[in-house]
Amino acid sequence: MKDVCEVTQIHPEAVENVIRFMPDLRAVASLFKALADDTRLNIAYALTIEKEMCVCDVAAVIGSSTATASHHLRYLKDRGLTSSVRKGKQVYYSLADDHVHQLVTIAHEHAKEGEPNAKDLSS
C-alpha cells in the first residue's frame, strides 16, 4: 500500500476553506526551527524544570562554555522564546511565557508516546 492517492481528485470546498483561513506561519516555523536544535531544546526543557537560570548554570547543564550557552540563549531570546534579566554581574534567563513551557512539555509528552516501553518511562 502506497501513501499516495491512486487518483488525483481535488476537493475545491476543502481547499478554498483552508486557503481562506490559513494564516502566515513563518513566525511559527521560526519558533520550531529554534527548538529543532538539540542544544536549544535542552536549554528550553531545563527552563521548564528550573524557572530561571544564569548563563553559567545553563552552560553546565548543556556541557558547554558560557560563550556557547550565551549564544544559544540569545538565539532563543531573539525569537521570543526566552527573556533575560541582569542581576549584578550575572544574566538570568527564563522562558518567555507559559506558551513556550507548554510547547516544550507537550512535545516531550508526544515524543514519549512513540517510544518503546513509553508506559514504563512515565511511571
Within 13 Å and on the Cβ side, how many CA atoms surround 104? 24
Return the DSSP state at 50: S
Whose cell is 511565557? That residue is 97
Residue 6's pLDDT band, with cuts at 50, 70 and 90, is: confident
Helix (H) or strand (E) holding 86: strand 82-87
Lowest-confidence segment of 2-11, 12-21, 46-55, 66-75 by average pLDDT: 2-11
**The CATH number of domain 25-121, selected from 1.20.1090.10, 3.90.1280.20, 1.10.10.10, 3.20.20.140:** 1.10.10.10
Measured over the CA atoms of residue 6, residue 11, residue 17 and residue 22, the dihedral's sign is positive
Residue 117's pLDDT band, with cuts at 50, 70 and 90, is: low
Residue 1: per-residue pLDDT: 66
Per domain, the residue ranges of the chain are 25-121
CA dist., res. 23 & res. 83, Å (int): 26
Residue 122: per-residue pLDDT: 46
What stretches of the chain show up as alpha helix (H) in DSSP? 12-21, 26-35, 38-49, 55-62, 66-78, 98-113, 118-121
Q: What is the pLDDT of residues 48-91, one digit of tens each?
A: 999 999 999 999 999 999 999 999 999 999 999 999 999 999 99
